[in-house]
Structure 1
Amino acid sequence: MAVLSAQRLPLSGLQPTYAAAASGGDQAPVGEKLFLHVRNGGGSSITVTVATPGTVGDLAVADAAQTIPAAGAAFIPLTSTFRDPMTGRAAITYSGVTTVTVAVLQLP
């Protein structure tokens, strides 16, 4: 599992650096102005899942899942809802990682 770092978006803009999605999943910082940008360069859709470690009463909160089409991209908010109490980060998994790249971006 790789630990991703956030890249701040300055007001002048940013050419982000993307990392290959890790087959064992990734961890990312969480916060109100953070989001994950996922690019799927493959010929099949993939599902990105962000674990939601919380519960309401005795019921587990469902994980957030986003399907990304072939050759598509998605932005996924990394709010504190996804903060794992053990690591302080979001746990992210991918149904496939071939030609999938990711970047954590932070709004100004």
Structure 2
Amino acid sequence: MARDSVTTQKITRAGLTPALTAVSANNDVIDAGSVFLQVANGSGSSINVTVNSPVTVDGLTVGPLVVAVGAGATKLIGPFPVATFARPSSSGTDVGRVYVDYSATTSITRAVVSF
């Protein structure tokens, strides 16, 4: 199943109120680099946000970044350096982007922001 492509919202000098949108069971693909993922957990339980790394170093797999977002909490996660998180050239349309998974999706919203 194709992941949901989340549009990056740009912060300007005038400011930005990020538009948070609902997470689906498809999980996300977001831009890599100097971007941040804002996750708001409106549920009654903590969730984990997993940012996958496709990288291996000296034959060892680089593990994912797993961040807990508590019940009722909002968290900014990032940035996501290209060398660590970007999908390799064999990833089709997702080349250079980042895969993000959520342990639950009910009452979870997110936005991707950059400057």
Q: TM-score with structure 2 length normalisation? A: 0.88
The offset of 1:50, in angstroms, is 0.5
Tell me the equivalent position of 1:83: 86
SS at match of 1:27: strand
Q: Which runs of 5+ in 1 are unaligned?
A: none
The offset of 1:24, in angstroms, is 2.0
Tell me the equivalent position of 2:35: 34
Q: Which runs of 5+ in 2 are unaligned?
A: none
Q: Equivalents in 2 of 1:10, 1:96: separation in Å?
A: 32
Q: Equivalents in 2 of 1:23, 1:45: separation in Å?
A: 17
Q: Equivalents in 1 of 2:107, 2:41: separation in Å?
A: 6
More helix by share: 2
Equivalent position amino acid for 2:73 in 1: G
Tell me the equivalent position of 1:58: 59
Q: Equivalents in 2 of 1:22, 1:50: separation in Å?
A: 16
Detail structure 1 runs of 4+ shifted over 4 Å in the superposition: none
Q: Equivalents in 2 of 1:35, 1:79: separation in Å?
A: 11
The offset of 1:73, in angstroms, is 1.3
Tell me the equivalent position of 1:99: 107
Q: How many residues align?
A: 106
Tell me the C-alpha RMSD between the 2 structures. Answer: 0.9
Q: Percent identity?
A: 35
Q: TM-score with structure 1 length normalisation? A: 0.94
